[in-house]
Amino acid sequence: MTSERKDKEELLMSMRHTMQARRALTAVVITTGLVLTVGGCGGDGGEDKSNAKASSTSTDKGQTHEEKPKEGEPQPPASDTVLAEVTGGDDNTTLTINSAVRDEGGFLTVSGKLKNGKGGSWVPNSWRGDEKELSNNGSSMAGASLVDRTGKKKYLILRDTDGRCLCTQFSGAFKENEEKTWFAQFPAPPTDTTKVDFQIADMPVASIEITDGE
């Protein structure tokens, strides 16, 4: 029984690795067109919204609920490091970024936490962005983008051939003061780019430092 169980576990691990590899390959194929030239050094959305406030912190707020990742998706690290934290938008939402890691496959994975600051339940429908291709990614991080001010490039979120973003899609509404983890993957900027601006919906811009993965 022990040998049989071991064989099954090895098979499951192999299947998971295969799924991850296929998904990554799909993302690579459709990366073309997800990097845009930004006019001017400021990019678009480089200024904070008038009804939003931005704040920086080096203390982890902790988490009350963790969004369950889909099969093959990278999980946000359990880290006390806070690269950026912004609060704003019409719903007084708090977005925390804990990591921005560039890997050898040409991807940049940004991850963190999202907290509902509204007085009641909240569904981030508008966060999927305005792109028609991403219209089926409701309540997700699909509308996120990165701006490299120095290189004057804007990086859109990666998606597969069916238009599904390589990002967290939240299940159900956020309860009052509920916090969930998230991730979003982008084409990686050049290695000499170490700082980018993270943008999504009507939230203030969050400037983050990129680290290289192992």
pTM of the model: 0.69
* 136 Cα distance to chain centroid: 17
- Give the chain's domain count: 1
Produce one character per residue of 11-44: b if its CB has 16 or more CB atoms within 10 Å, e if not.
eeeeeeeeeeeebbebbeeebeebbeebeeeebe
Tokens of 174: 């956020």
pLDDT tens, 109-154? 999 999 998 889 999 988 998 888 888 898 999 999 999 999 999 9
Of 98, 65, 61, 87, give the one whose Cα is nearest residue 179.
65
pLDDT tens, 166-182? 999 998 899 999 999 99
Cβ atoms of 194 and 143 closer than 8 Å: no
Instruction: Note down the domain range covering 135.
Output: 2-212
Question: Distance (Å, rounded) from C-alpha 118 to C-alpha 181?
Answer: 17
